[in-house]
Amino acid sequence: MSATPAKSEYLMIFRGLDWHRGLAAEEIQKIMVDWMAWSDRLVAEGRSKGRRSLSGGGKIISGKDREVSDGPFAETKEAVAGYFLLEVSGLDEAVEIARECPTVPYGASVEVRPMPANCLASQLAAAPLDRIAEMLAGRAAGSPATSAEPAKL
Amino acid sequence: MNNTSEKSDYLLLFRGADWHKDLSPDEIQKTMTTWMAWFNRLVAEGRCKGGQSLAPDSKVVSGKMKNVVDGPYAEAKESVAGYFILTVSSIEEAAEIARECPTLGYGTTVEVRPLLARCAASEVAARQMATADA
């Protein structure tokens, strides 16, 4: 047993661009002040390592012909609005943080996704061929990839 | 006209967790080798600041009661599988990079989104402070 448990990284994805619809300007500002206090506290506690918000526009590229169309990808309610990069002891702690998100009661959703220590692409590029199916099956079944080399931000 | 045009950050979101479904292990590995060469080239060119793949076991929090359900958020075809952060001159350049994605032909969709220099929440919060001061 170690006194300092290992930390893992999680991406917290905020979804929904219209949580403020129907709210007064004063309410919106109050929620954003709460948001900044929450976000700044997580940074001060060393639990949030990065945070970015996205603009509402964008492009989408898809298909064999690599067609480009206007984004964002999902409808307003589901579109990605921003993210935090958390460093915490486990998925449970990340979910507890997600439950503190000030815009969730107004319709935003928060998706918490583990970030493997080593990216899947580099693992698949280097793995023996007879292990490929197993690695992807494990991914589908929900086990996070684990390996040494970091290839992250 | 300026020779050293201003750069901005863009997020590439790779959507689709099942691009490999109909491929042989050999094809999957070849595609991932191409992927890593693409990523490493973008990093070497100073156009990509980082990237990550996301594991699928996840949770989604939503609603007034802050319910927690198993994720990922979207169905396999649409769920976010990973991302790159690009620093480039325009959204057109970011879209050109997105068009090079090696798994596009196998069902991946790439979403390009401008990253704001300053977070939207702090802008709104700061405006309140300014109003309070006035």
The CATH code of the domain that includes B33 is 3.30.70.1060
Cβ within 8 Å of A, B 10-29? 11, 13, 15, 17, 20, 25-26, 28-29
A73 contacts B13? CB cut-off 8 A: yes
Q: What pLDDT does B1 receive?
A: 46
User: Is the residue at A37 inside a domain?
Assistant: yes
User: In this structure, are A65 and A31 located in the same domain?
Assistant: yes
User: In this structure, are A134 and A84 located in the same domain?
Assistant: no
Contacts A–B by Cβ distance under 8 A: 223
User: In this structure, are A34 and A86 located in the same domain?
Assistant: yes
Q: What pLDDT does A118 receive?
A: 81
Spatial distance between the Cα atoms of B42 and B51, rounded to a whole number of angstroms: 11
The residue type found at A60 is: I
Contact with chain A for residue B95, Cβ under 8 A: yes
User: In this structure, are A149 and A100 located in the same domain?
Assistant: no
Domain count along chain A = 2
User: In this structure, are A136 and A74 located in the same domain?
Assistant: no
Q: Which of A105, A97, A16 is nearest to B65 (CA)?
A: A105
What residues of B are in contact with residue A94 (Cβ under 8 Å)? 59
User: In this structure, are A101 and A151 located in the same domain?
Assistant: no
Contacts of A21 (CB under 8 A, 6+ apart): none
User: Is the residue at B105 inside a domain?
Assistant: yes
User: In this structure, are A111 and A61 located in the same domain?
Assistant: yes
User: Is the residue at A145 inside a domain?
Assistant: yes
User: In this structure, are A85 and A135 located in the same domain?
Assistant: no
Question: Mind listing the pLDDT tens digit of every residue in chain A (153 residues)?
Answer: 555 678 999 999 999 999 999 999 999 999 999 999 999 999 999 999 999 999 989 999 999 999 999 999 988 889 999 999 999 999 999 999 999 999 999 999 999 999 988 888 889 999 999 999 888 875 643 333 333 333 334
Q: Give me the interface pTM, i.e. the ipTM.
A: 0.88
Boundaries of domain holding B62:
8-133
User: In this structure, are A108 and A121 located in the same domain?
Assistant: no
The shortest C-alpha distance from B134 to chain A (Å) reads 15
The shortest C-alpha distance from B5 to chain A (Å) reads 20
User: Is the residue at B18 inside a domain?
Assistant: yes
Select the residue of A68, A111, A132 nearest B29 (Cβ to Cβ).
A132
User: Is the residue at A140 inside a domain?
Assistant: yes
B20 contacts A61? CB cut-off 8 A: no
User: Is the residue at B39 inside a domain?
Assistant: yes
Q: Which residue of A has its CA nearest to B74?
A: A78
Per-residue 3-state assignment (H helix, E strand, C coil) for chain A: CCCCCCCEEEEEEEECCCCCCCCCHHHHHHHHHHHHHHHHHHHHCCCEEEEEEECCCCEEEECCCCEEEECCCCCCCCCEEEEEEEEECCHHHHHHHHHCCCCHHHCCEEEEEEECCCCHHHHHHHCCHHHHHHHHHHHHHCCCCCCCCCCCC
Select the residue of A61, A95, A112 nearest B110 (Cβ to Cβ).
A61
The CATH number that applies at residue A40 is 3.30.70.1060
Q: Are B112 and B91 in contact (CB under 8 A)?
A: yes
Q: Is 90 exceeded by the pLDDT of residue B114? A: yes
The shortest C-alpha distance from B7 to chain A (Å) reads 16
User: In this structure, are A33 and A102 located in the same domain?
Assistant: yes
User: Is the residue at A1 inside a domain?
Assistant: no
User: In this structure, are A21 and A49 located in the same domain?
Assistant: yes
User: Is the residue at A2 inside a domain?
Assistant: no
User: Is the residue at B72 inside a domain?
Assistant: yes
User: Is the residue at B3 inside a domain?
Assistant: no
B49 contacts A95? CB cut-off 8 A: no
- When scoring A34, A73, A95, A115 by the number of chain B Cβ atoms within 10 A, the one with the most, hence best to mutate, is A73
Q: Mind listing the pLDDT tens digit for each residue in B41-64?
A: 999 999 999 999 999 889 999 999
Angle between helices A25-44 and B120-133 (to 10 degrees): 120
Domain count along chain B = 1
Q: Mind listing the pLDDT tens digit for each residue in B63-110?
A: 999 999 998 888 888 999 999 999 999 999 999 999 999 999 999 999
User: Is the residue at B79 inside a domain?
Assistant: yes
Boundaries of domain holding A38:
8-115
User: Is the residue at B1 inside a domain?
Assistant: no
Q: Is 50 exceeded by the pLDDT of residue B34? A: yes
Q: Is 90 exceeded by the pLDDT of residue B125? A: no
- Cβ neighbours around A83 below 10 Å, total: 24
User: Is the residue at A60 inside a domain?
Assistant: yes
User: In this structure, are A123 and A96 located in the same domain?
Assistant: no
User: Is the residue at A3 inside a domain?
Assistant: no
Between residues A17 and B121, which one has the greater pLDDT?
A17
